[in-house]
C-alpha cells in the first residue's frame, strides 16, 4: 500500500492504494483542490501505470473536489478507455457527487454509491 499526503493549513488529502484481485483500489480522504489535485493525479497515474484492468477510486470520505480534480478523473478515464480498461468511482450522495452532477460528469463515469462487500473489493 502506498500513501500520498499533503498537510497544510487549509486542506489535507490522503490517498491509499491497494490491490484487490484485478483492481487497483485508491481511497481518497479529504479535499481535492488546487493544492492537492496534482497529488491525486500522480496517484491515479501510478495506478494506471500499474496495469490493473480496473481502477476503483473510493471517494466516500472525500469532502470536496474542484474542477482540477474532475479534470484528472476525466483524463484518466479517457486514457483507460483507449486501452479497454475500466475506471469506477465509489461515491455516495454528498458534495462530490453533487459536483459531478452539476458539471455533467456523473454521466461520464461508472458510479457506485457504496463499495461492494469486502470479498468483492
Q: What number does CATH give the domain 2-120?
A: 3.30.750.24
Burial bucket for residue 84 (CB in 10 Å: 0-12, 13-18, 19+): exposed
More reliable by pLDDT, 111 or 5: 111
Domain extents for the chain? Answer: 2-120
Mean pLDDT over residues 40-68, rounded?
A: 95
72-96 pLDDT, tens digit per residue, is: 999 999 999 989 999 999 999 999 9
Rounded to two decimals, the pTM is 0.87
pLDDT tens figures, 101-120: 999 999 999 999 998 776 56
Q: Write out the H or E segment, with its range, that includes residue 38.
A: helix 37-49
Amino acid at each position: 500500500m502506498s500513501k500520498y499526503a499533503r498537510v497544510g493549513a487549509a486542506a489535507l488529502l490522503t490517498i491509499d492504494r491497494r490491490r484487490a484481485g484485478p483492481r487497483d483500489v485508491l481511497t481518497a480522504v479529504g479535499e481535492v483542490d488546487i493544492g492537492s489535485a496534482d497529488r491525486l493525479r500522480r496517484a491515479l497515474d501510478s495506478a494506471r501505470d500499474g496495469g490493473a484492468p480496473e481502477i476503483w477510486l473510493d471517494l466516500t470520505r472525500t469532502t470536496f473536489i474542484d474542477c482540477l480534480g474532475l479534470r484528472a478523473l476525466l483524463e484518466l478515464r479517457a486514457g483507460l478507455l483507449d486501452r479497454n480498461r475500466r475506471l469506477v468511482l465509489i461515491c455516495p450522495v454528498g458534495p462530490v457527487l453533487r459536483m459531478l452532477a452539476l458539471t455533467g460528469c456523473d454521466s461520464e463515469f461508472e458510479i457506485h454509491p457504496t463499495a461492494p462487500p469486502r470479498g468483492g473489493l
